[in-house]
Amino acid sequence: MHDMGGMQMPGMPKPARAKVAPKAKAKPRPAKPRTAAPAACPPEHAAMGHCSPPAATGEAMPAMHDMPGMAPASSPASTSAAAAAVGTDQPAGDAPPPAPPRDLAAARFYDPAAMAAADRRMRAEHGGMTFGQILFDLAEVQVRDGRDGLRWDGEGWYGGDIHRLVVKSEGDGSIDRIDRAEVQALYSRAIGPYVDLQGGLRQDLGAGAKRTYATIGVEGLAPYWFQVEGALFLSDKGDLLGRVQAYYDQRVTQRLILQPRAELNLAAQDVPASGIAAGLSEAELGLRLRYEIKREVAPYVGVSWQHRRRVTARDDAGGAALVLGVRGWF
């Protein structure tokens, strides 16, 4: 260890060093001038014109298309690369999109039946699931001049994005009597991103005639976020009725919403058993301001105007009313 240069072990004596005779000083010689070595010029730099290759080498510089990874636009390599471009590498145009890949890495290890079942489940969980909702858009008390009443309008549905079962109900009456009520059971199918086609049955209840109707209609979202519904009803007695309604939710704040609403009922003929007159048999206009305590519960206050035409003019009813209610869904 003590023989290693620059190291001294503790507790060990220092070795004696031999005396070296001094060397005679040599006379300085004049330095010969040196010629600078030519700077290295890599072939790729020389091809780009950044430097010049040594003339003594005698080697020919490679052409641009001979260099790895580089090809001129007119070379066969660039032509074949452009022809092989796929997906987002393709030039801009109106060509159809490429087909999605069908080769799954897991298919090399699992049975095809197990892979098919897993694929169906994945697709169902990413857009094919079923949902349900029950919504009461109107559930209110109407305060009129000595003629207080009740009014409701709601629906429930269960299904997916395309096919659904829908149950609707609406009606009104006094505190101790249901004057008009109906229930609809409908099959709903999406025919567009914002429109559903619906068909099924409607059953009238309440104090009037208990008629059954075949129903067909549409429900959806119109431009500018208007929620619209339209339906035709053909009864088992041959009576043809129609209905159009629409409403719009105008947000005043994140929790305060103003909803104008309109509903029109029409009849192709008089229906004396139900007290319905031909033409525009009923019209209702309303304006309701609700406050969302949370999205599922929103009490509201507003005004409503209603007019009903009966078979005889003396039976016409309606008028303005103050409404108090709760909009809710779950």
The CATH number that domain 189-329 falls under is: 2.40.160.40
Residue 318: predicted pLDDT = 75
The answer on pLDDT for 137 being more than 50 is: yes
**Sequence ranges of the domains in the chain:** 189-329
Q: What integer is the mean pLDDT of 275-296?
A: 94
Residue 71: predicted pLDDT = 47
In contact, 143 and 322? CB cutoff 8 Å: yes
Give the whole-angstrom CA distance, residue 119 versus residue 199. 33
Q: What is the DSSP letter of 295?
A: T
Q: What percent of the chain has pLDDT over 70?
A: 72
Closest Cα partner for 326 from 292, 283, 278, 275? 292
Q: What is the DSSP letter of 278?
A: S
Choice among 18-32, 113-127, 185-199 with the minimum mean pLDDT: 18-32
Choice among 46-60, 116-130, 251-265, 290-304 with the minimum mean pLDDT: 46-60
Q: What is the pLDDT of residues 100-129, one digit of tens each?
A: 777 778 888 899 899 989 988 888 888 778
The answer on pLDDT for 191 being more than 80 is: yes
Residue 74 banded pLDDT, cuts 50, 70, 90: very low
Q: What is the pLDDT of residues 138-189, one digit of tens each?
A: 999 999 887 788 999 999 999 998 999 999 999 998 888 888 899 999 999 9
CA distances from 247 to 53, 66, 137, 225, 231 (A): 82, 72, 10, 9, 16
Average of per-residue pLDDT values in the chain: 82
